[in-house]
Structures are given as C-alpha cells and as structure tokens.
C-alpha cells in the first residue's frame, strides 16, 4: 500500500519541480530579452549625448564609441622610398620593413609588418611611408563649445585641421526653448482640467444623453488631426487668432480631449463609491467633491496623460508650423531644429547638441511622473 501511494507523490513532486524549472527559465528569458531591448534602445541616446560633447574634428573623423579604450595606430617613424619608385608597379619595401612586395593600393589602407607595426602612405606624392604602431588610447577630448554655439547665439571661431580659422554665427535656441515651454505647458494643463471635469460628469452625474455624449467623445479618437487643419485655419483667420499661441493651445486641447476624457473616465469611474456617497451625505457639492476628492485620487491617471500630452505637444512640428508660422521670434524647438538641419546639416557636433537640448525637458517630465505612468495606463483595466 505504501509503494502504491509513494509513486503518485513522486510523480507530483517531479511535475512540481519541472514546473518550477520552466518558470525560472521563463523569467530568465524574459528578463534577458528586456535587458537587451533596453540596451539597444539606450545606445543611440548615449551616442547622441556623447557626440554633443565632442569637438568638430573628432566627430567628423571617428565614431562616438572611440571614447572607450581601444587600439589606435599612431605614426612613430617615417621611411622615404626612392624617388624613382613606380607607383603603378609592385613596390618592394626596404629590408628593415621586411622586404615584402606590395601595391600602392595596399599601402593606402596599411600593410602589416613582421614586427606588428604597419606601413601606410604618409605622403604618396613624396614617396614617404609612415610606420605606425598600435597603442591603447581613448578619445576624451570633450568640450562645452557645442552647447555654447546652439544656446548662446554668438559668433564662434574655430580652427580647421589645415590650420585655417573660421568664424560662424551660432544658433540661439534659448528663444525657441522658451516658445516651446510657452506652448507645451498650457496645451497640457488645459485639456487635463477640462477632461477631468468631463470624466467626473460622465462617471458620477446623471443627466440625459450621458452615454450618447460619451460615445461621441470616444468616437472622436479616430479623427486625424490633418483633416481638420484647413477648416481650423480658416476659422482662425476669420477670428484673427492665427499666428498666436492661443491658436496652438486650442488646437492641441481639442485633439487631446477625447483621449484624456476616455483615460480619466476609466479611472474616475472605478473610485470607491462609498467615499463619494459619504461626501454627498455631508453636504458637499459636486465642485467640492471634484476638487477635494477626485483630483487627488486621480493623480496617477492625470500624470499618465500629462506625459502623453506633453510629449505630443513638445515634439509637434505640423500644428506649430500651420498656426504659428515661421517667424524666428515665435518658432518652437522643432521648427528651429529643422532649420538647423537644412542650413547646418554637415555640423553634426551642433545638431547633436541641439537635439539633446530638446530632449532634456521631456526626460525630466517623464522621470518625474514615471511612478504614476503604469498605474495610469492600467486605469479601469481591472474590474471589481
């Protein structure tokens, strides 16, 4: 009898151990995959940050990864070949270099020598070979001049590789940065407040047509922004709003409200009913309940939508271009960066610095509110 009962127990124990092993390796696989994705996602941003601190010549001659320790060839000696050497024929290296026979094309990229060094053309016309030796090095020649160029707007003088001094006019991004902040903050706060009032009304106030109106609001999520640009622009021209910040605020508010209302409704409708009923019994008005209870309890959902809306407005180019215009005094960062790409597309050191300036405030907003982000996204997803 004991033998017959121990066999099922052993089988059950073996299945449990197998399930635990599968669960363990499943977690390992998921964590390793997520780590790889995070690294791959972070590498371009890290390269952008490093490139923004490298000078003009460094960023043109080598990649940003050269800041890491690596082997690099440097010229330690030179050897002059006979002047009558025919570069169209195979070239015999001097005996002290091994005496190998190579071609001129091979010397363009470098030829390995028996002692570990390599020979490369130092001056092909003068028949001069450079003898290079590999040494460990790291390019740590960092500078803040790139940020001074894009933020200061003053003239910048630098020396090229051939020793020539060049003076260029810097790009002043401070004005565009202030303009972007002026556009982004109201265009984020206004739809959040309006959507919070609407979500509370749809969730906790009984009035005729409530469900029909909410269905219409949700249906507006599928309306693309581009189809409304021309009608809104005509209305703004008639109202003399075009070219003002108010025009952009209203446009972003209108197209941000459906998502904000839907997101906040899912969260507000799941708040404990007992808390609100107690407030009603104590004589609190709807406005008091909204300001004292709904807003504090809805902070995760508010922060989650604030991240979405702020990033959308901050990275917007089309709405700002249509409703504000291209005047330098009202340009936002995205418009100024587009101008820089067109006028200074070859100056990667300036473009990377300007691009990272545009990333600082969105990164600050995200990391400040990221603890509410997941809770806000999951708002209303679990019932009960």
Mean pLDDT for back-to-back runs of 10 residues, the chain (384 residues):
58 72 85 90 87 82 82 83 84 82 85 85 86 82 82 63 59 84 92 90 85 88 84 88 89 89 86 80 82 84 86 90 83 85 74 85 82 60 46
With beta carbons less than 8 A apart as the criterion, state whether 332 and 341 touch: no
DSSP-derived pairing of the beta strands 70-80 and 128-137: antiparallel
Q: What is the pLDDT of residues 271-300, one digit of tens each?
A: 888 877 788 887 878 888 888 888 888 888
| pLDDT at site 184 | 92
| pLDDT at site 383 | 46
The residue among 137, 114, 328, 297 whose CA lies nearest residue 204 is 297
What would the DSSP string read from start to end of 297-330?
HTHHHHHHHHHHHHHHHHT--HHHHHHT-S-TTT
Compute the distance between CA of residue 373 and CA of residue 370 in angstroms, rounded to an integer: 5
For the chain, which domains are there?
68-137 (no CATH), 174-377 (1.10.3720.10)
Per-residue tokens: 281: 């019994």
Q: How far is CA 254 from CA 168, 187, 213, 224, 302, in A?
A: 42, 10, 16, 12, 17
Residues in the chain, how many?
A: 384
Per-residue tokens: 126: 């003068």
| pLDDT at site 300 | 83
With beta carbons less than 8 A apart as the criterion, state whether 333 and 358 touch: yes
User: What DSSP state is assigned to residue 82?
Assistant: P
Element (H, E) at 112: strand 111-112
| pLDDT at site 307 | 87
Q: What is the pTM of this model?
A: 0.73
| Residues β-bridged to residue 158 | 166
Q: How far is CA 298 from CA 70, 75, 262, in A?
A: 52, 66, 13
CA atoms within 13 A on the CB side of 214: 22
Per-residue tokens: 96: 């002290």
Compute the distance between CA of residue 263 and CA of residue 303 in angstroms, rounded to an integer: 11
Q: What is the pLDDT of residues 123-169, one digit of tens each?
A: 888 888 888 888 888 888 888 888 887 887 666 665 555 556 666 66
| Residue given tokens 């959902």 in the structure block | 301
Compute the distance between CA of residue 309 and CA of residue 196 in angstroms, rounded to an integer: 14
Compute the distance between CA of residue 327 and CA of residue 330 in angstroms, rounded to an integer: 6
| pLDDT at site 183 | 92
With beta carbons less than 8 A apart as the criterion, state whether 311 and 317 touch: no
| pLDDT at site 380 | 47
| pLDDT at site 163 | 55
The residue among 38, 113, 126 whose CA lies nearest residue 82 is 126
């Amino acid at each position: 009898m004991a033998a017959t009962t121990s066999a099922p127990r052993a089988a059950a124990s073996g299945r449990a151990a197998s399930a635990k092993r599968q669960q363990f390796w499943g977690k390992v696989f998921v964590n390793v995959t997520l780590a790889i994705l995070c690294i791959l996602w972070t590498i371009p941003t890290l390269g952008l940050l490093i490139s923004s601190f490298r000078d003009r010549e460094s960023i043109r001659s080598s990649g940003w990864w050269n800041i890491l320790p690596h082997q690099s060839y440097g010229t330690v000696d030179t050897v002059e070949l006979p002047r009558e050497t025919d570069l169209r024929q195979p070239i015999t290296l001097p005996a002290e270099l091994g005496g190998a026979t190579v071609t001129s094309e091979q010397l363009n990229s470098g030829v390995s020598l028996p002692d570990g060094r390599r020979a490369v053309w130092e001056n092909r016309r003068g028949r001069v070979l450079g003898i290079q030796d590999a040494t460990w090095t790291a390019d740590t020649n960092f500078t803040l001049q790139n940020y001074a160029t894009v933020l200061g707007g003053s003239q910048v003088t630098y020396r090229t590789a051939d020793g020539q001094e060049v003076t260029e006019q810097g790009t002043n991004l401070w004005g565009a940065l202030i303009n972007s902040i002026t556009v982004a903050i109201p265009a984020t706060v206004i739809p959040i407040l309006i959507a919070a009032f609407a979500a509370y009304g749809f969730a906790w106030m009984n009035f005729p047509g409530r469900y029909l109106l909410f269905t219409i609001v949700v249906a507006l999520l599928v309306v693309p922004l581009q189809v409304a640009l021309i009608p809104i622009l005509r209305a703004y021209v008639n109202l003399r709003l075009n070219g003002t910040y108010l025009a952009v605020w209203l446009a972003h508010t209108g197209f941000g409200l459906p998502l904000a209302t839907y997101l906040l409704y899912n969260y507000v409708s799941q708040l404990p009913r007992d808390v609100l009923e107690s407030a009603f019994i104590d004589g609190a008005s709807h406005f008091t309940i909204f300001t004292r209870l709904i807003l504090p309890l809805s902070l995760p959902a508010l922060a989650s939508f604030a991240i979405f809306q702020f990033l959308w407005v901050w990275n917007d180019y089309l709405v700002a271009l249509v409703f504000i215009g291209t005047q330098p005094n009202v340009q936002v960062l995205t418009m100024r960066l587009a101008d820089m790409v067109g006028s200074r597309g070859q100056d990667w050191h300036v473009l990377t610095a300007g691009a990272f300036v545009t990333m600082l405030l969105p990164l600050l907003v995200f990391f400040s509110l990221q603890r509410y982000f997941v809770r806000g996204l999951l708002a209303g997803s679990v019932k009960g």
